[in-house]
């Protein structure tokens, strides 16, 4: 019974559409049950009217019109109730899907945030390590430059003393030459 009602509701709700501006489902269908039974009801009415006398025909006609109206009203009420239940179900399903999507998005955003933080920590650690190595190389370079400056200073001092010694040696050689040859030519 319930499966038949769901199938009937599915047939009746084929005209369902989502309205993005209002955020609701809308339905543009007419009760198919009333449309299906109308031709049969007209034939039954015609048969009965053909086989009754005029007075009875009027009573039967009124009763049939009332009966058909009541049936139509009952069908329309049933359709409205089914449509409202379907709309409610669609809204609930849509809300649940939206909430699930939002939750999934939040979880993914949190995970990507954690991954970003891990990567940033790794990068920061590597940068600190490279900075320490750079500082160490820089200190060694400063030390080497200082030693090189000392060596250059000592070399300049030695070169100056060597120049002095060479000059004194040249003077001594000249004195020896002068003494060896007292008379200039």
pLDDT for 70-79, tens place per residue? 888 888 888 8
Is the full-model pTM beyond 0.95?
Answer: no
In angstroms, rounded to a whole number, what is the distance separating the alpha carbons of residues 102 and 110? 12
Structure tokens of 15?
Answer: 């005209």
134 part of a folded domain: no
**What separation, in Å, do the N-terminal and C-terminal C-alpha atoms of the chain show?**
150
Q: What is the DSSP string of 140-167?
A: HHHHHHHHHHHHHHHHHHHHHHHHHHHH
18 part of a folded domain: yes
More confident residue, 142 or 180: 142
19 part of a folded domain: yes
Mean pLDDT of 122-133: 93
Please tell me the total count of domains within the chain.
Answer: 1
22 part of a folded domain: yes
How distant, in Å, are the alpha carbons of 81, 88, 105, 137 from that of 95?
21, 10, 15, 62
The pLDDT value given to residue 181 = 79
171 part of a folded domain: no
The pLDDT value given to residue 79 = 86
Number of DSSP helices (H) and strands (E) in the chain, helices first: 3, 2
90 part of a folded domain: yes
In angstroms, rounded to a whole number, what is the distance separating the alpha carbons of residues 92 and 95? 5
Give per-residue pLDDT as tens, 128-173. Answer: 999 999 999 999 999 999 999 999 999 999 999 999 999 999 999 9
- Cβ within 8 Å of residue 104, ≥6 positions away: none
161 part of a folded domain: no
Residue 65: pLDDT band (50, 70, 90) is confident
Residue ranges making up the domain that contains 81: 2-127
103 part of a folded domain: yes
């Amino acid at each position: 019974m319930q499966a038949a009602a769901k199938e009937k509701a599915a047939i009746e709700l084929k005209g369902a559409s989502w309205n993005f501006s209002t955020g609701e489902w809308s339905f543009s269908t007419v009760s198919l049950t009333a449309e299906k039974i109308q031709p049969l009801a007209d034939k039954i009415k015609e048969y009965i009217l053909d086989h009754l006398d005029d007075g009875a025909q009027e009573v039967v006609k009124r009763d049939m019109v009332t009966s058909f109206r009541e049936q139509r009203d009952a069908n329309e009420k049933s359709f409205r109730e089914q449509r409202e239940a379907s709309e409610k179900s669609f809204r609930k399903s849509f809300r649940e899907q939206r909430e699930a999507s939002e939750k999934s998005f939040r979880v993914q955003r949190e995970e990507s945030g954690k991954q970003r933080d891990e990567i940033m920590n790794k990068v920061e650690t590597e940068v600190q390590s490279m900075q320490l190595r750079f500082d160490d190389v820089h200190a060694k370079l400063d030390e080497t430059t200082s030693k090189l400056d000392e060596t250059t200073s000592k070399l300049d001092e030695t070169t100056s003393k060597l120049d002095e010694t060479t000059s004194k040696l040249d003077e001594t050689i000249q004195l020896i030459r002068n003494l060896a040859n007292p008379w200039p030519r």
